[in-house]
Structure 1
Amino acid sequence: MPTYPELKLYVAGEWRSTADTIPVLNPANDSVIGALPVARTSDLDDALAAAEHGLKIWSRTAPRARAEIMLRASALLRERNEEVAFAITSELGKPIRQARQEVIRGCEFFEWDAGEAQRTYGHVIPSEPGIRYMTVHQPIGTVAAFSPWNFPMSQPARKIAGALAAGCSVILKAAEETPAGALHIARAFHDAGLPPGVLNLVFGVPSDISGYLIPHDQIRMIAFTGSTVVGRHLTGLASQHGKPVLMELGGHAPVIVCDDVDPHQAGILGATRKVRNAGQVCTSPTRFFVHENIFDRFVDAFATRAAATVTADGIEESTEMGPVANARRVEALTALSEDAVTKGARLLAGGHRIGTKGQFFLPTVLVDVPQNARVMQEEPFGPMAIINRVASLDEAITQANALPYGLAAYGMTHSAANVEEMLNRVEAGNLSINTLEASVAETPFGGVKASGFGREGGQSGLSHYTVIKTLSHRMAL
């Protein structure tokens, strides 16, 4: 049986501890599984100096050589999948099968970016005789990256992959509640031979670390995944110092279910995907707008499958949904469910926690939810689905666009005309039809409106970690 790792900072190619620590809890049983070191100001200063030194080496390393180290680190993570997955399940509660898949997904980010970075071509621009115009892509510099708690390994991987592939150095502030995924990434790169200072890992009070790092001259870009409120704060702080940001913020994903699909099959798909990672996914399908012709059959299939979800400790192979991450999520989900019912919604499944040990909350299905219910405006970020009936595709799209968020959206239909209408009108950075998968390593991912700006993943995502330099070369004076 794997063990939870000893937690340390990683600065200038070395592991270090601090006297001040934060307990890391297992949400399945509330036990303390680790002591997380809190970075001191001196640690952050050392990380800044190390990143500056590492950038000088890494930015001058050939793309093929950078790719070789990234692929070596990815191979080590694949070999250590069981160890990494065990740590993720221990600190987050995610079912072990999903944790294994998350490790693979993180590796795919490294592998895609390692290859794509070797193809960041510039351009030769047609010009008059005697002068040549060219563009080249160069690393933007040191990146301050901030990753969330809901995907301990793949979210840090996405940011590290883009930055390292482009030739940047990184200071990563990973989540305090789920630190082991990022630690395993740093360990793999250390073992793969990454030069000291290119990747640095710190932990601590988020506002203290962001407030200290972002103003420093060495930091040239900020990459953040998290809530819209925090993202806007960091964007404002970065703008004061003229620094670009990459923001992947909150969502409240709509699912438009047209009347030309099998309602039973669609309902089972929706319920199964809703409980992935206990619904703690920024792209989790949440607001289901179902055509009235198939509404009752869809609801029946969805609610039946949701109620049958095997909810238990994630370490068990049979578990389909583990606990939510912490007591705060249980309190928030309980309040949203009670508010919706009070305002007229029908509760068909769940709506409350399970037992008193651990942070388990049942998959919850709310039907015919009125617009004034809080959950219609606030992202539940948990295993909670809203299912409302609509009379037309136009009404569904209007409802889908009613919120300020626009990260992921989904549609279920077999009509090319319906797909075209959703593509043209649904306000989201990512639209998926007949699948509830929002992104893969080779596609760009990001939101519109209050869900952020910029893209991670794919060729577009890699470009955020570079700057374009234009060369104007006159052949003779």
Structure 2
Amino acid sequence: MTTLIEPATGKPLADVEQHDAGDADRAVRAAHGAFTGAWRRINTRERGQLLRKLAEKIRENADELARLETRNVGKPIRDSRDEVGLAANVFEYYAGATNKVGGQTIPGAAPGVLLSFREPVGVCGIIVPWNFPIAITSWKSAPALAMGNCVVLKPAEQTPLTALRLAELALEAGIPEGVFTVLTGAGSVVGEALLRHPLVRKIAFTGSTEVGMNVMRTAADDIKRVSLELGGKSANLIFEDCDFERAVASAASSALGNAGQDCCARSRIFVQQSIYERFTSALKDAFEKLHVGDPLADETEMGPLVTEAHRKRVLSYIERGRAEGATLVTGGACPDDPGCYLQPTIFTDAKPDMAIVREEIFGPVVTVMPFRDEDDAVAMANDSVYGLSGSIWTRDIGRALRVARAVETGNLSINSGSSVHLEAPFGGVKRSGLGRELGLQALDHYTEWKTVYIDVTS
């Protein structure tokens, strides 16, 4: 057993079992048994009805799930409510896709008939991070289940509570045992066991780029399918003709949501020189006015970081930024309150080769840097090994579309700080990942094409 610590209070929250490689083996074999049994052969419409029932169960238990998420992760309760609502919507969306994935009848095969159709992959090992536990669980599990696969899920060892409750709700919804299983424990033990198990045919991973590279290497030993959603260092490009007030508000919210513990966080803010000083001053005011406090309070806009160890990691980046010569404009300190809180932090006078500009900090820390013109903005945005998300703020739609095409990223918002839309594919380029989640495109990762030729001459 391991004891979870509540980030907001520093007090024990729950004791959770630590599974081992033997538990992983039994879970995978049970999932394989369910896959080769009734689940694979179930009517697609009935499968959709079961996923719809699970969406209903999530909504019926939304308050409980949101409180679990807030107490386990530390994010504000209003954000947890949104995340739980998104999870329900994702299961409902893919419930509607179960009987809408067709195949092909291919001409030119005379005198025979040539058919191609999609089949489920089998057992899917799904490994999710600690920052958006129930949302990312739904992104990966819902399309996998919709296509007739079985799922063995490993949540982050720090934040397993909503995943465990979701497994209970899945059974209550009528999803058979073995179809959706949750294993808790260390990634180096349980995650590694899933990666190496011969009956696991697909790995869907969200986490750091370094771990994702290891996942890909290990999966290659057994030619497993892999999809990876990894790190980010997203750019926010603020042009002089922007809607100034909206751009400032969005720059704060898109950088500080979930205390910056978001791979899509717009932590590199680039502002056109003519408005740079004014924008930086306004952003400083927005950061300092942000309500940081008890995540269970409705008025709270930013809660604590997930663990004390993670707070120390973020603080080390702040110290490194100061040591390398960047100017600390605001924040950078820990309040006296108990818990893993950290003040929202802004750096200016940062150079492109500094760690605070190049590396994913995963905390409430941003750099604000000036650019001259459109070409300069694109070059600065693309000067990164990551390419997950970003924003452009301008009233010039022609410029917005030119820059959107030029910026190397998988997702981009114009005059918005949003990143995720369940109806559209989401994922990154460069070191931000491989493959896409959400939208109908996600279904491709959980199916295999099979081609059948029928000789009709006899």
TM-score, length-scaled by structure 1: 0.93
Is 1:51 matched with 2:51? no
- Tell me, what secondary structure is at the counterpart of 2:347? strand
Of 39-48 and 213-222, deviating more is: 39-48
Partner secondary structure for residue 116 of structure 1? coil
Q: 2:322 aligns with which of 338, 341, 352?
A: 341
Q: Partner of 2:10 in structure 1?
A: 30
Question: Per-residue CA shift, 1:102-158, capped at 9, x if unaligned?
Answer: 100111111111112321111222215422222111101100110000012111111
Distance in 2 (CA, whole Å) between partners of 1:354 and 1:50 is 48
Q: 2:141 aligns with which of 160, 177, 185?
A: 160
1:254 equivalent among 231, 235, 243: 235
Amino acid in the other structure paired with 2:321 = A
Structure 1, gaps ≥5 residues long:
1-20
* 1:431-442 correspondence runs (5 A): 431-442=412-423
Q: CA deviation at 1:456?
A: 0.7
Q: Which runs of 5+ in 2 are unaligned?
A: none
Q: Which of 288, 302, 313 is the equivalent residue of 1:307?
A: 288
**In the alignment, is residue 87 of structure 1 matched against residue 68 of structure 2?**
yes
Alpha-carbon spacing, 1:128–1:197, altered in 2? closer, same or farther (3 Å): closer
Instruction: Give the Cα–Cα distance (whole angstroms) in 2 for the partners of residues 133 and 293 of structure 1.
Output: 63
Per-residue CA distance 1:362-413 (angstroms, 9 max, x = gap): 1111123122321111111111111100001111111111111111121111
Give the structure 1 partner of residue 309 of structure 2: 328
User: What aligned pairs does 1:461-472 form with structure 2 within 5 A after superposition?
Assistant: 461-472=442-453
Specify whether residues 138 and 86 from structure 1 end up closer, same or farther in structure 2 by C-alpha distance, changes over 3 A only.
same
2:203 is aligned with 1:217 = no
Aligned to 1:17: none
Equivalent-residue separation in structure 1 for 2:116 and 2:404 (angstroms): 33
Alignment equivalent of 1:368, drawn from 341, 349, 354:
349
Instruction: Write the mapping of 1:77-476 to structure 2, written as runs, cut at 5 A.
Output: 77-355=58-336, 357-476=338-457
How far did 1:346 drift?
2.2
Q: What SS class does the counterpart of residue 305 from structure 2 fall into? A: coil
Cα separation, 2, equivalents of 1:119 and 1:308: 48
SS in 2 for 1:446: coil
* Distance in 2 (alpha carbons) for counterparts of 1:344 and 1:122: 59
The residue matched to 1:247 in structure 2 has which SS?
Answer: strand
Q: Displacement, 1:207?
A: 1.3
1:29 to partner: Cα distance:
1.0
Bigger drift between 430-439 and 258-267 goes to 258-267
SS at match of 1:362: coil
Which SS does the other structure have where 2:95 is aligned?
Answer: helix
**1:176-213 per-position Cα deviation (integer Å, ceiling 9, x unaligned):** 11111111211111100101111111011211112222
Give the 3-state SS of the residue equivalent to 2:196 in structure 1.
Answer: coil
Residue 40 of structure 1, aligned match among 10, 16, 20: 20
Q: Give the AA of the match of 2:126.
A: A
Which stretch has the larger CA shift, 445-454 or 261-270? 261-270
- 1:315-363 alpha-carbon deviations (Å, 9 max, x no partner): 1111110001111222122222222223332222211111162100011
How many matched pairs?
Answer: 457
SS of aligned partner of 1:290: strand
Q: Is the 8 A contact 1:172 1:199 kept in 2?
A: yes
Residue of structure 2 in register with 1:10 after alignment: none
The answer to whether the 8 Å contact 2:291/2:302 transfers is yes
- Are 1:368 and 1:389, in contact at CA under 8 Å, matched by a contact in 2? no
Measured after TM superposition, the shift of residue 64 of structure 1 is: 1.1
Q: Is the 8 A contact 2:48 2:97 kept in 1?
A: no
Q: Describe the superposition over 1:11-53 as per-residue Cα deviations: whole angstroms up to 9, x where unpaired.
A: xxxxxxxxxx111110111111101101133322220221011
> Is the 2:243–2:395 Cα contact (8 Å) retained in structure 1?
no
Q: 1:367 and 1:24, CA in 2 relative to 1: closer, same or farther beyond 3 A?
A: same
- Matched-pair identity in %: 33
Matching residue's letter, 1:447: G
Residue by residue, what CA displacement relative to the aligned partner does 1:423-468 show, whole Å, maximum 9, x if unpaired?
3211111111111111111111111111110011111111100011
The SS at the match of 1:295 is helix
The whole-number CA distance in structure 1 between the counterparts of 2:266 and 2:413 is 11
Q: Distance in 1 between matches of 2:105 and 2:152?
A: 34
Tell me which moved more, 92-101 or 210-219.
Answer: 210-219
Structure 2 partner of 1:18? none
Q: Secondary structure at the match of 1:387?
A: strand
260-269 or 376-385: bigger deviation: 260-269
Q: Distance in 2 between matches of 1:321 and 1:215?
A: 39
Aligned residue type for 1:43: D
Task: Check the 8 A contact 2:255/2:266 in 1, yes or no.
Answer: yes
